[in-house]
Amino acid sequence: MTKRLTRSELFAGAQATGSSVQIPSSHLDLENQNDEKIEGLTSKVKILKEITLNIGETIKDSSSIIGSMSDDYSRTGHFLDGTMTRLKLLARSQDIKNLFIPYC
């Protein structure tokens, strides 16, 4: 593992020439390595962003499906409530209690 240099250590051997500073080649190599690593990290961040967006779309789709299922269950419950109410009214209005034979 290489030692991480501080800014003053990195530019200790730099020489000023006019308006620019000449940096030794070892420092340029480090800068190039940093640039390559930054490019690699940038591409990984883009991939993670795409994955995150895809997960978000999947969640939206799933939520929509679950909402639709909830509506279907609600309608089914209301339908069954109505059916049970009609059966109770039928049982009260006619003597269908004799149709149910208890098993002993």
- Helix (DSSP H) and strand (DSSP E) numbers for the chain: 2, 2
20 bridge partner residues = 17
Alpha-carbon distance of 68 to 72, in angstroms, equals 6
pLDDT tens per residue across all 104 residues of the chain? 566 766 666 666 655 555 555 666 788 888 889 999 999 999 999 999 999 999 999 999 999 999 889 888 888 988 888 888 888 887 777 665 555 555 54
Question: Comparing C-alpha atoms, which of 78, 74, 77 is closest to residue 66?
Answer: 74
Q: Model pTM?
A: 0.47
Per-residue pLDDT tens digits for 79-90 = 888 888 888 887
Average pLDDT value over all residues in the chain: 79
* 98 in Cβ contact with 91 (< 8 Å): no
